[in-house]
Structure 1
Amino acid sequence: MGDGTTPSDTVVDVPIMDDPAEFTGDFVLNVDRAWTCVCTFIQTGAPSDLGQWCTL
């Protein structure tokens, strides 16, 4: 889930495998939080340490 950085009704384009994917602000993190999540996952391999997850 997002961290409230972007309003939930805002759409953000995120490049995934060279194609843009649209996400609402409900799923957007600021750069520092996103980087922390990536580093934590690399170190622990535990997705439960990254915060709330939801099915897209």
Structure 2
Amino acid sequence: MQEALVLRLIAAGVPTSDIAAQLAVNEPEVKQHIKALLLKARAKTASRLKSAPTAL
């Protein structure tokens, strides 16, 4: 569930630190979610995830 929220926030261009604040978690946890999303999307950068909500 949090991965989906992280993905939506990334797609909206929200910085990692702001995502952490909005989800009330620490920044390393957000980065772990991003890493998992990168693997699932077979993407190399978080900016590539911006188009992922429609692809995943």
Assess same fold via TM > 0.5: no
Q: TM-score by structure 2 length?
A: 0.32
Q: TM-score by structure 1 length?
A: 0.32
Structure exhibiting the larger radius of gyration computed from Cα positions:
1
